[in-house]
Amino acid sequence: MRAHIIPAIKLSLYSFLLLGVIYPFIILAIAQISPNQGKGLLIESGGRTYYKNIGQNFTLDGYFWSRPSAVDYNAAGSGGSNLSSSNPEYIAGVKARIDNFLTKNPDVELGEVPSELVTASGSGLDPHLSVSSLVIQVPRISKVRGLAEKDIFELIDKTTEKPLWGLFGPEKINVLELNIRLDQFSKEKGVRYAK
């Protein structure tokens, strides 16, 4: 029995040293040389500070809407709804989002509604959307804000993040950055948007 206890104690001590001391120290050291010392990517706008890499809740008609969140955009509780796609509660929630989207975007047909605008992601915190999910919202925003659609398309083009090294992943747009640019552009044009 002693032949098993001593190695088990040694393994526990080595594991504690490796996983409880060395590994956290390495991660902390890496964080210190990363942008903003591991505190996340921050954006300041209008006297407020936002986390660029955490989804924000945009639901007003004059803004590009974000992807829905099952955790109400709370980074402390990242996660999905854990409801299956056949769950009646899940189906009712998605249907309500689709109905709301079609009401606010009357030029869009049911089959054109992007799934990422009516379903939450696994983390509930995705800050990005595909270009097509934002382009489909342009007529609504143009009408509400009184801006030309071509100007809004230019903002989308300027905010689009290309695939990593031109190869990996799709083009995507950070919704927070785009909405900040939209507010700045509206201000420059003298267009006041009542929130």
CA atoms within 13 A on the CB side of 70: 17
pTM above 0.85, yes or no: no
Instruction: Indicate whether 34 and 115 sit together in one domain.
Output: no
Q: What DSSP letter does each residue of 100-165 carry, written as one string?
A: HHHHH-TTS-GGGS-GGGTS--SSS---EE-HHHHHTTHHHHHHHHT--HHHHHHHHHHHEEPPBT
**Domain match, 48 and 137 both:** yes
CB 120 within 8 A of CB 80: yes
34 with 49, same domain: the answer is no
Any idea of the CA torsion for 69, 53, 113, 154, to the nearest 10 degrees? 150
Specify if 193 maps to a domain: no
Q: Is residue 35 part of a domain?
A: yes
Query: What is the pLDDT at residue 137?
Result: 96
Query: What is the tally of structural domains in the chain?
Result: 2
Please report, as a single letter, which amino acid is at residue 22. Answer: I
81 and 165 belong to one structural domain: yes
Q: Is residue 194 part of a domain?
A: no
Residues of the chain with pLDDT under 50: none
Q: Is 29 exposed, middle or buried (0-12, 13-18, 19+ CB in 10 A)?
A: exposed
Angle at 102 between CA 98 and CA 108, to 5 degrees: 120
Residue 195 inside a domain? The answer is: no
Q: Examine the domain organization and report whether 129 and 145 are in the same domain.
A: yes
* 114 and 160 fall within a common domain: yes
Q: Give the domain extent around 112.
A: 42-188
Same domain, 27 and 94: no
